[in-house]
Amino acid sequence: MCGIAGILGSYKKEQLHTMLNTIIHRGPDATDTYFDNQIALGHNRLSIIDLSPAANQPFISNDGRFILVFNGEIYNYLELKTLLKEAYNFKTDSDSEVLLAAYTVWGKDCLEKLKGMFAFAVWDVHTKTLFVARDRFGVKPFYYHQSSSTFYFASEIKALFAAGIAKNYHEKVWANYFIHGSYGDINETFWNEIYQLPAGHYLLKSDQKISIKKWYFFENRVENYLHNDLSSQEAMDRYSILLRESINLRFRSDVPIGFNVSGGLDSSTLLAYVNQQENSSNIQAYTFYTGDERYDELPWVQQMLSITDNPLKEVLFSAEEVKYYHEKISYHQDEPYGGIPTLAYTKIFEQARKDGFVVLLDGQGMDEQWAGYDYYIKKSESLIQGVSKSPFKKNTLSQDFLDLSKKPTYPELFDDEILNLQYRDLFHTKIPRALRFNDRVSMAFSTELREPFLDHDLVEFAFSLPQDYKISKGVQKYLLRKIVSKLLPAKITYAPKRPIQTPQREWIGNELKSEIDNGIERIYSSKYTHWFDLDQVQSEWKKYLEGDNDSSFHIWQWYNFSQLID
């Protein structure tokens, strides 16, 4: 896990150094650069596999033709190394060198062979071409900007600003955020002329031309499964094998590994399979709590861990800490993020790093592959669970700003409505935003987060199972519950989904009231007041304080935006 940056075209060395310094938190263990008369490449390293200096980047191929900068992990690097050892002379034990060897031998076809999370760039010294690729689900980020003569890229947007790219608001994206809760399309950011490479795509940059192509065709791959006539037992057996393999691969590390737990099914599943590792009882678990029994999942977590005897670090997050962490994480996110649960989650990584745990696993991805959200069975367009009416307040926005928005539409590649919703959540809504939130909060404290449930073989298989294997008689993630109930008590694996994990609604109207007032005042005194109907903002804030608080998301949007105002 690392931070990468580069400039292709006209540049000054100081620009690259400034970019790397801006994202030093992503890789504090080593920083190095590569310069020639056309390109500058830089890398901040967080050492996870092969801790020796020989594995530092930028990495140069044996023949000197290719230079690699890489952010992520290739989990099946040992298997790939076996395949490549006759064609490539390895000098390290790192997965980075295996990735470079794979590209050297197979070119872009190496992407299909990789199991991992990655965003990497390879400079071809002979053809003067830059090849960039991002993993299937976009676990690792890649941002870029093209000026008239220069191409810039980095792992975080702030590094592009540090290089001198103008910080201009992409008003359409902001309008869709406030009105529809959208975080932008797959290639968009909240900033003009700063783009992200979509998940499962690669980019070729040569001269002044940029070519972007899709390499991961999820819809084609799942077609191979959709018509398989597997019994429920066969499906459970196959899924269990895939899940075990995924977690085994993600335990490859030369530094200590822990895992994050909450009280739900996904964490139960992670716990059950983590504890099939060797010396599993010594694997450290982390969870957060707020001290509010209406929301805290701590009793469920303690009950789960009492069965397996994993050591548990309970991390308390309080209302008094929101201001500090919100300022810090707004800086690290560069764009709006989800709310106070994200801040509480942040504190886990801070504690893990203090404890010496550099790698953590969590349970992201189960709801999307198993149709676990309530709107899969309820007719609702809301992407926010647990609210009874729209969380958005269009009346607080000016008409000119409203006119900029356009309700997002998403591909419908399948004949089944639920499959289309799952596809949307995997590639356009839930997973892209969650992965961005999680990458930034983990990297803010120089820790690596691994997502074993987003192994592509696992997701493809679960996604393609018959609907009644996912939802049966109103029970969601039906077969998954049956699988896990063989490993943990049914009272844990059949516990209801609890989407709200902090007293955000209560804190906003009480302990955080003055903070929200200050945030609204920052909006009033900014150059973006024309986006809002300020009288309506005050009216909705007053209604909230008087008890109209079914949803706090619109208040959070204002508070989040106020921290990102330049």
Which pLDDT belongs to residue 229? 85
pTM over 0.75: yes
At 492, the amino acid letter reads I
pLDDT of res. 499 = 57
| Residue 499 maps to a domain | no
222 falls within a domain: no
Residue 163 sits in the same domain as residue 281: no
> Do 83 and 132 lie in a common domain?
yes
CATH assignment of the domain containing 430: 3.40.50.620
Q: Is residue 391 part of a domain?
A: no
* Full strand arrangement of the beta sheet holding 257-260: 312-316, 284-289, 257-260, 359-361, 448-450
Same domain, 447 and 558: no
For residues 284 and 153, membership in a common domain is answered with no
Domain presence at residue 225: no
pLDDT recorded at residue 277: 83
DSSP letters along 413-436, please? -SSSHHHHHHHHHHHTSHHHHHHH
- Which of 493, 513, 540 finishes a domain? 493
Domain count, the chain: 3
Q: Specify whether the CB–CB gap between 317 and 295 falls below 8 A.
A: no
317 is a domain residue: yes
For residue 267, which of 516, 498, 466 has the smallest C-alpha distance?
498
State whether 429 and 535 are in the same domain.
no
Among candidate residues 75, 452, 481, 482, the one with its CA nearest the CA of residue 244: 452
Provide the residue range defining the domain that includes 544.
504-564
Residues 310 and 457 occupy one common structural domain: yes
554: nearest Cα among 335, 329, 336, 323? 336
Domain stops at, among 216, 246, 271:
216
Instruction: State the CATH number of the domain containing residue 182.
Output: 3.60.20.10
Residues 6+ apart with CB under 8 A from 563: 326, 327, 330, 519
Residues 168 and 39 occupy one common structural domain: yes
The answer to whether residue 395 sits within a structural domain is no
Whether residues 481 and 515 fall in one domain: no
Q: Find out whether 378 and 385 touch, Cβ atoms under 8 Å.
A: no
> Residue 394 has what pLDDT?
95
- Classify residue 223: in a domain, yes or no: no
Among 216, 251, 269, where does a domain finish? 216
154 and 84 in a single domain? The answer is yes
Which pLDDT score is estimated for 223? 87
The answer to whether residues 172 and 315 belong to one domain is: no
Per-residue pLDDT of the chain (566 residues; tens, 9 = 90+): 699 999 999 999 999 999 999 999 999 999 999 999 999 999 999 999 999 999 999 999 999 999 999 999 999 999 999 999 999 999 999 999 999 999 999 999 999 999 999 999 999 999 999 999 999 999 999 999 999 889 999 999 999 999 999 999 999 999 999 999 999 999 999 999 999 999 999 999 998 799 999 999 999 999 888 777 899 999 999 999 999 999 999 999 999 999 999 888 898 899 899 988 876 768 999 999 999 998 999 998 998 888 888 999 999 999 999 999 999 999 999 999 999 999 999 999 999 999 999 999 999 999 999 999 989 988 655 555 555 567 899 999 999 999 999 999 999 999 999 999 999 999 999 999 999 999 999 999 999 999 999 999 999 999 999 999 999 998 999 999 999 988 888 777 777 666 567 999 999 999 999 999 999 999 999 999 999 999 999 999 999 999 999 899 999 999 999 999 98
Residues 331 and 247 in one domain: yes
Same domain, 247 and 357: yes
Please report whether residue 394 resides in a domain: no
Q: What are the E-state strand segments in 36-166?
A: 39-45, 59-60, 66-74, 116-124, 129-134, 143-146, 150-154
- 91-103 in b/e form (b: 16+ CB < 10 A) is ebbbbbbbbbbbb
